[in-house]
Amino acid sequence: MLRAAGVGLGDEVVVPAFGNVEVAEAVTLAGGLPVFADIDPVTYCLDASAVEAAVTPRTAAIVVVHRFGRSADMARMLGVGQRHGLLVLQQGESEAPYDEVAQRRERAAYLDAKLRGVRTPDGGDGHTYQQYIVRVPGNGRPDRDAFARAVRGRGVECRVPVKTPVHRLPEFRRCVALPETERAADETLALPVDASLTRREMQRIVSACNALGGLLQPAF
């Protein structure tokens, strides 16, 4: 994709560090240099202001990744591309049937109304809830991980969506300030929101989380 778009040796490409390593690897394979920009804390997609701040004379493109069923602010992102003469590429998530999305939204609304002690996602326009991402308050990763273990112990599957941001990986380690990326990596947890979940299973999720939420002591 990048080579076909004209990205070549020495070109910088702005990408997110919050997510899969494949995007940064694709830039490297095309001969370019991945440059990491911070995310919007609501959508978990690249933040347009952070992208603009990362642009240099060597920047050739931006790769925007839509995450968890939320879309990036493409109007602002395309504006950045236009101002600097950059190619703006998108990596989207697969579309789901309307009925499935409607059922996920119904289950997400139930969790929004019932969960306590965790920060529920901001739905926003068009959220399809491919994943239902909450934030576990506290003092970073130890609290979130302890919460996840306790919830699993109560029979509810959950997972950490991004265990290690790409800029922390040895092959892509960068000395760059990405506070929202770091915070999201330490606090986020994906709870089940599948269309197949029954009301009893949804109640179990709420019961497991509410028995723990707000009760864990911050890690010092």
Structure tokens of 63?
Answer: 């790769």
* 218: pLDDT strictly greater than 70: no
Residue 141: the pLDDT is 52
86 vs 67: CA distance, rounded Å: 22
Would you place residue 175 in the very low, low, confident or very high pLDDT band (cuts 50, 70, 90)? Answer: confident
Considering only CA atoms, which of 25, 21, 12, 9 is closest in space to residue 61?
12
Question: What are the boundaries of each domain within the chain?
Answer: 12-91, 98-210
Instruction: Answer for the pair 126, 96: CB distance below 8 angstroms, yes or no.
Output: no
Tell me the pairing of strands 188-191 and 87-91.
Answer: unpaired
- Taking CA atoms, 97 is separated from 31, 100, 122, 195, in Å, by 37, 5, 22, 11
| 214: pLDDT strictly greater than 70 | no
Residues 169-188 as b/e (b if ≥16 CB within 10 A, e otherwise) read eeebeeeeebebbbbbbbbb
SS (H, E, C) the chain: CCCCCCCCCCCEEEEECCCCCHHHHHHHHCCCEEEEECECCCCCCECHHHHHHHCCCCEEEEEEECECCECCCHHHHHHHHHHHCCEEEEECCCCCCHHHHHHHHHHHHHHHHHCCCCECCCCCCCCCCCCEEEECCCCCHHHHHHHHHHHHHCCCCCECCCCCCHHHCHHHCCCCCCHHHHHHHHHEEEECCCCCCCHHHHHHHHHHHHCCCCCCCCCC
Give the end-to-end CA distance of the chain in Å, rounded to a whole number: 45
Domains 12-91 and 98-210 belong to one CATH topology: no
Is residue 94 pLDDT above 90, yes or no? no
Which range among 41-55, 71-85, 117-131, 184-198 shows the weakest confidence by mean pLDDT?
A: 117-131
Q: ∠ at Cα 110 (105, 115), nearest 5°?
A: 125
Which residue from 202, 176, 165 is spatially nearest to 67, judged by alpha carbons? 165
Residue 142 has pLDDT above 60, yes or no: no
213: pLDDT strictly greater than 90: no
Fold (CATH) for 12-91:
Aspartate Aminotransferase; domain 2 (3.40.640)
Residue 216, pLDDT > 90, answer no
Indicate the CATH number for domain 98-210.
3.90.1150.10
pLDDT at 139: 53
